[in-house]
Structures are given as C-alpha cells and as structure tokens.
Chain A
Amino acid sequence: MNRNIVLVCSFGLSTSLLVNSMETAAKEAGAQVRIRAIGSNEVPDVVDETDVFLIAPQVRYLLNGIAAHGLPAGVIEGRAYALADGRAALHQALSLLEQGV
C-alpha cells in the first residue's frame, strides 16, 4: 500500500523542489510512497489522504497546529531542506511513520 507523504510550506513552492529528489530516493530504496507539496492553507483539505506531514523549516511554527490533526508530523532539518536532500527527508518521513503519533 502506498503511504502518503505531504510536504508543507507557505505556497507549496519551495517544498516542490524536494519532491523530485524524494521520489528518486524512494525509488532507490524501493519504498512505496506518494509524495506531494502543498501550501499551508491546503492542510485541512488533504488530512484525509495523508499519512505523514513534513514541514518546511521556515514555517516550523505550524508544527503544533498540524500535529493537532492526529497524524505524525515533523520539521525538515534546514540543510537537508536547502540542498533538497531527498534521502534524508524520506528517511525522516519513514521513521516518523514508524514511530506513529
């Protein structure tokens, strides 16, 4: 079953840079995931189809609000985010999924 990873930033612009490299990393690792980037205003719309939220560092103040939806959520580490390090971000998403809420 595909797990849904949702990346959140202000407009879904800067996180979209990370989506491709995460997809490549997922393919390499053989992880069954679906990844997409959204703007913070879309969070309530996608909660039902999300398994884990990854939050961009510049909007890390959203963490508590997003975690309140009862799904695993974490803030992406700054340098991994900046360099679009898909492997690190994927690893973070998968370990958040493993830990659960």
Chain B
Amino acid sequence: MDKLLSFMERTLLPVTAKIVENRYMQAIRNAFIGSALPMIIVGSIFLILAIPPLPDGLHGGWLGRVSEWLTEARPMLMIPYQLTFGLVAFWVCYGVAESLAKHYKMDGGRVGLMAMATLLVFCLPVGVRQHGHLVGLSAISLDRFLDDLGAVGLFVAMLTGIGVAELNRFLLRRGLILKMPPAVPQNVSRSFEMMVPAFLAVGSAFLLEWWATTTWSPQPLDPATALTLPQIVMAKLSFLVQASDTLPSAILQIWLMMLLWAVGIHGMNVVSSVAYPLWQNNLSSNIAELGAGEQATHIVSEPFFHMYAHLGGSGATLPLVFMLLRSHVSQLKQVGRVALVPALFNINEPVVFGVPIALNPILALPLLAAPTVIVTINFLAMHSGLVPVPTVQPPLTMPVFLGGFLADGSWRGTVLQGVDLAVAGLIYYPFFKLYEKKLSHFAAGE
C-alpha cells in the first residue's frame, strides 16, 4: 500500500502538472474562478431572493400573500439573476481571453473586451430574412440572445476567448499591430493597437456566423427559428452534458478527486478545470426549469460536490476532526485543535497534511470510500426526488447544514448532509482507530 501510494504520487504529479499547467486549461479555470464566480455567487443570491425557500402550498395569511406575489412577480424578480449568473458565458469569455493574454504578457483587459465583442456577434443569427428582406437586431428576440450568453454559449465563449487571445498574440509576433510613434500618449496608442485585431476578430466572427446560420438553420431562414453558433455547437455537444449528469459520471469525478487527494494533490482543483463548464451547464438548466415553474432535474453540478460531498472539505473529513479532538494521541489531538475552525468552513488542508491523510496507506481507503458512498446516496436521493436538486451555488466556505439548506432551498438538503456526515463518520471510524493504535504503538516503542 505504501509503495502503491508513492507510485501513484510519482505518476499523478507530472500528469496533474501537465493538465493544470496547460495554458488553455489554466485560462478556462481562471475565467471561472476569477471572472465568473463573483457573478455566479451574486446571481445565486438574487435567485434566492427571487425564489425564496418557502414551503409549497401556502394559502391565506400574510405569508400566503407574499408567496402568491412572489410567484406572480417571478419573471420580474429573475432579472438581476439573468443579467449576472445568467450571462455566465459572457464573463467566462472575458476571463479566458484576459487570462491567456496575461499569460502571453499582453494587455489582458483589452483582449478580454475584444473577446466579449466577438462573442456578442456569435450570439445573433446573421443572414436571416423576413418578408424577403435581410433583418438586423430588431427582429431577434432578446431572450434568445441572452440565452446564448448563458450556459448555451459556454463552449463557444471559451473557444472565442482562446481564439481572440491567440489572434492578438499572432499579430503582435508578426508585427501586424499598428504602432504609434513614442510621442503619442500611451492611452491613445493602445487604442490604436486594438484596431487591427478587433477588426479582424469581430469581422471574421461576423462572416463565420453568417456561414453557420445560413448553413445549419432550418430552412427557410426565419428570425424565430434561425440558429446561432452557440446553439449549433451546444446541440452537437449536448451528449457530453447529458453524460456528465449520471451516477457513473458523478462517481468517476469523485474518484478522480479523491485519488489525487490521497497523494495530497488538490483533486477538486484539477477535476474542476475540466468539469466546470459541464457543472455550470447543469446548474443553469436547473434554474431555467425553476424559473419556468418546473422541478429542477440536473444533479451533478458544483454545489453537488462542494455542498453535499466535501463536508468539512474534500473527503468529507468533518467527522474525522471530531475523532481527532477526542484522541488520546497528543499529536492527533493537536491537529484536531488547529483543524476544527477551518473545517467548519470546509477547509481541510490542516487535516489532510496534519494527520496526515495524504500518502497515508491506512486512511487512503476511507478517503476514497466515504465520498464515493456519500455521492451515491446523494445522487439516488436527488434522482428519486427525495431531496431537491441543488439550484444555488453558495460560496465553498458555507458551513455544513446551512449550505445544504441554501443550495436546494429545502430543509431536506440539511437532513441529507446530516445523513452523509453520519455515514462518513462510520466509514472513517475503524480506520481512524487503526491509525491511532499504530501511532500509540510507535510512540510506546520509542
């Protein structure tokens, strides 16, 4: 087991470094964490205000009147959500371009803006006719346009961000960017420098969109049914999103996360750099369903892991902290004391490296087993409708019990977290005792 773990570390570390250090993966992750996350969290708060967790079937009394008004006003109350979290692709597009541009030591802000402009072009069908005349913006519904800037447009947004940053880099390297004489003030010369790449980016996006709309849309072309590039690409990749929202996919993801944590590598970080777009797709679909007055159905999203699996941190280590606090081995008790407060906010590096769990052949087993069992329980509970599916993404530091309530707007989410904690505790306990025994033997032997 010892050998297995050190072998895993030797093989996983370079692979992880390759994935995480890949500049495109890095840009996508930075975009989600740095640019989109604030909008996602703020949007989630607006969403809770628009669709507050009130029990169903309230009639009469002031609470009943509030609940009726909220249902009636829902389309209006959703606006702040729709213009923040709802435009997730817009923010991600900026973030990808900005981060990649910075990586190439270019002006991130400007390249990011250019990418946003380019993405906007992709979100309108081009070359559509109404009554025989080519039509422009006014013929397109705002709803469909904004939809494209949300989850539907995520894949195109990431590609646009990468494309625009690469275009800028290419032009800069070839000296094809207009340079002003040094006497011109820097702000003026910079805006001139943007001209060639911005013209090329927006212009080629326009032509590409024209080709895509006219080629792939149902004929005859009509503003109501014409397709945009984000819609076309999403239709081609929807199998991927669907496949991500299954029990095998959830288990595969938690396994990868935990295998990495078993050798002390931030598994959530690594897996999320690949899975984040899929999670956001599922979460956004849930909110769309909720907004339409339907039941949310997409289970595997960011809060599915952060709120219902990583209880007290990755590996569901919160119960372990309480075992540490009561341990008679002073080394473990000391870790427990340091680890308690961070663990209440789902930060468990003190546990992982203090006990340690990382590279520990005894504790690697429950580290894999507990989250796997929990994820299975949670998936089945949500799939069967016993517990509502998460629709809100609270910050990852949201304490257990509160997080479970906020993420799905139901006390059942809190109960599920309680069940999960008990299960995790039962799985960790025998292995913890074994490890404790080994440590006290070791101490006695000295």
Q: Are A64 and B17 in contact (CB under 8 A)?
A: yes
Q: Give the A-binding residues of B (Cβ under 8 A).
A: 13, 16-17, 20-21, 26, 29-30, 33-34, 99, 102-103, 261, 264-266, 268-269, 334-335, 338-339, 342, 347, 349-356, 358, 396-397
Contact pattern, A 5-37, Cβ under 8 Å of B = 1, otherwise 0? 000011101100100000000000000000000
Can you identify 10 A-B contacts, CB atoms within 8 angstroms?
Answer: A10-B268, A13-B397, A17-B347, A41-B99, A58-B261, A58-B264, A58-B353, A78-B353, A78-B356, A82-B339
The reply to whether A83 and B33 form a contact with Cβ atoms under 8 Å apart is no
Question: When chains A and B are docked, how far (Å) is the Cα of A65 from the Cα of B21?
Answer: 7
Question: Which residue of the partner chain, among A40, A58, A60, contacts B352 with CB atoms under 8 Å?
Answer: A58
Q: Which residues of A contact B268 (CB under 8 A)?
A: 10
Q: Tell me the minimal C-beta distance from A64 to chain B in angstroms.
A: 7
Query: Once the chains bind, are A56 and B30 in contact (CB under 8 Å)?
Result: no
When the two chains form their complex, are residues B335 and A61 in contact, meaning their CB atoms are under 8 A apart?
no
Q: Are A14's CB and B334's CB within 8 A?
A: no
Tell me the bound Cα distance from A80 to B265 in angstroms: 16
Closest partner residue, chain A, to B14 (CB atom): A61
Closest to B356 in A: A78
Bound: A81/B99 CA distance, A: 29
| Cβ–Cβ contact B21 & A83, under 8 A | no
Judge whether B350 and A58 touch: CB under 8 Å. no
Shortest C-beta distance, B268 to chain A (Å), equals 8
Chain A: residues with Cβ within 8 Å of the partner, total of 27
> Once bound together, how far apart are the Cα atoms of A65 and B30, in whole Å?
15
Give the Cβ gap from B306 to chain A, nearest Cβ, in Å. 12
CB pair B21 A41 closer than 8 Å: no
Q: Which of B16, B102, B103, B269 contacts A10 (CB 8 A)?
A: B269
Partner of A14, one of B26, B33, B342: B342
A11 in complex: contacting residue of B21, B33, B351, B355, CB < 8 Å? B33
Cβ contact within 8 Å between B266 and A59: yes
CB distance from A19 to the nearest CB of B (A): 13
- A9 and B34 CA atoms in complex are apart in Å by 14
CA distance A10 to B33 in the complex (A): 10
Within 8 Å CB of B347, what residues of A? 13-14, 17
* Closest-CB distance, B24 to chain A (whole angstroms): 14
A83 to B180, CA, bound (A): 55
Known contacts A41-B99, A82-B349; A60/B265 CB under 8 A: yes
Chain B residues closer than 8 Å to A14, beta-carbon distance: 342, 347, 349-350
A100 within 8 A of B: no
Chain A contacts for B13, CB-based, 8 A:
60-61
Q: Give the residue of B102, B339, B342 whose beta carbon is less than 8 angstroms from that of A44.
A: B102
Give every chain B residue within 8 A of A71 (Cβ-Cβ).
none
* Chain A: CB-nearest residue to B270: A61
A73 at the binding interface (Cβ < 8 Å): no
A17 touches B265 (CB 8 A): no
Chain A: which residue is nearest B339 at the CB level? A82
Given A41-B33, A61-B20: A79 and B356 interface contact (C-beta under 8 Å): yes
B102 touches A82 (CB 8 A): no
Are the CB atoms of B266 and A10 closer together than 8 Å?
yes
Flag if A84 contacts B264 (CB, 8 Å).
no
